[in-house]
Amino acid sequence: MAIATAMLEANGLRFAVDTAGQGDTVALLLHGFPEARQSWHRQIPFLAELGWRVAAPDLRGYGGTSRPAGKAAYSIEHLTDDVAALFAALGGKRNILIGHDWGGVIAWQVALRGKVKLDGLVILNAPHPDAFARELRRGWTQRRRSWYFAFFQLPWLPEWLLTRNGGAPLVKMFRSHSEHILREQIEIYRRNIVQPGAATAMLNYYRANFSGLAGGAGSNPMIAVPTLMIWGKNDLALDLRLTEGNEQFVEDFTLRTLPAASHWVQQDAPDEVNATIAEWARRKGLA
C-alpha cells in the first residue's frame, strides 16, 4: 500500500504527516530522537492493511513540521496537546497511539493525562515514568546509561557535536548501534538535523522536560487503556529492568521482548514488530 505525505494543521502548527489506509480507526505513530516520520515506513503499509488509517507525523521541530523557537515550546504539555490536536484533526472513531523513544514518552503522558480517549496504546523502548524513576533510584545502572540527559542540558556543545561535518557523528551513532537501519533513512535523519535550528529543537525535548522526565513517580494514575510494550533487548540507553513491574501501572499490560533488536526496534525487527502489533490488536478486538 502506497504512503502519501500531507500537511496537517493542528495545535497552531503545520505537521508533515505520512499516511496510508482508510477506516474509522486512526493509528497515530510517534517517532523518537533523533529520527523522523520515515522511521515507521516498514509499519505504515502493514498497519493500514489491518484496516486502520495510519498517520506518522514529524514531531514539532523535526523534518517538515513547524519548528517553534524557545525551549518552553517543547514542554510535555505542548507535546501532548499536539497529539490531542492531531487525533482531533484526523477524526477517527477509535484511537490507537503508538510511540517509540521520545514518541513513547509522549504516548505514556497522553494516556496518563487523559487528553485523548485511547482504545489502544503501543510503546516501543520507552519506559513508564514510574519505572524510570524506580530504576534511577535503584542504583547507577540506568543513571550511567542516561548520562546524555545531563550532557544535553549544556548550551551549543551538543548541537555542535551532532551536526559537525554535515551530521557525520549522527550517522556514526546509528551505524554503530544497528546494522539494519536503512541507509536512506539515516540520510534523512542526517539531512534533517543540519537544518537551521533543527538540532536545538530536538535537544529542547530534553531541556524543557529534564526535571520532569521521572517526576511525580508514584502519583500517576493507573492506565486503563490496553497497552502493548515491545522492547528491543539490545538497548544501549535503557536497561531491560525498565520492562519489569509495569502491571502495577497498567491494568491490561502485554510485554514482548525481541532479543536480537536494539533500541531502534521497529527498524531493526520490522517483521517481528508488525506481527506482534497485529496479533495483540486482534486479541483486543482492535483489528
Would you say 231 and 240 are in contact if contact means Cβ atoms under 8 Å apart? yes
Work out whether the CA dihedral 85, 89, 93, 96 comes out positive or negative.
negative
Q: Which CATH class is domain 4-144+209-284?
A: alpha beta
Would you say 4 and 20 are in contact if contact means Cβ atoms under 8 Å apart? yes
**What gap in Å lies between CA 45 and CA 36, rounded to an integer?**
17
Query: What's the pLDDT score for residue 272?
Result: 98
| Nearest residue to 20 (alpha-carbon basis) of 38, 93, 46 | 46
Query: What's the pLDDT score for residue 21?
Result: 97
| 53-57 β-sheet, strand order | 4-10, 13-20, 53-57, 25-30, 94-100, 120-124, 227-234, 253-262
Domain boundaries, the chain: 4-144+209-284
End-to-end Cα, the chain, rounded Å: 17
Query: What's the pLDDT score for residue 74?
Result: 98
Strand, helix or coil for residue 85: helix
Query: What's the pLDDT score for residue 139?
Result: 87
Would you say 97 and 83 are in contact if contact means Cβ atoms under 8 Å apart? yes
* 256: Cα separation from own chain's centroid: 17
Look at phi and psi of residue 156 and say left if phi exceeds 0, alpha if psi is from -120 to 50, else beta: left
Query: What's the pLDDT score for residue 217?
Result: 58
Active site residues: 101, 206, 263
Query: What's the pLDDT score for residue 65?
Result: 98
Kind plus residue range of the DSSP H or E element containing 61: none
Would you say 107 and 98 are in contact if contact means Cβ atoms under 8 Å apart? yes
Query: What's the pLDDT score for residue 216?
Result: 54
Tens of each residue's pLDDT in the chain, 287 residues? 899 999 999 999 999 999 999 999 999 999 999 999 999 999 999 999 999 999 999 999 999 999 999 999 999 999 999 999 999 999 999 999 999 999 999 999 999 999 999 999 999 999 999 999 999 999 899 999 999 999 999 999 999 999 999 999 999 999 999 999 999 999 999 999 999 999 999 999 999 998 876 555 567 999 999 999 999 999 999 999 999 999 999 999 999 999 999 999 999 999 999 999 999 999 999 99
Cα-based distances in Å from 156 to 15, 33, 72, 174, 264: 26, 17, 17, 22, 26
**What gap in Å lies between CA 7 and CA 3, rounded to an integer?**
14
Name the DSSP class of 181.
S
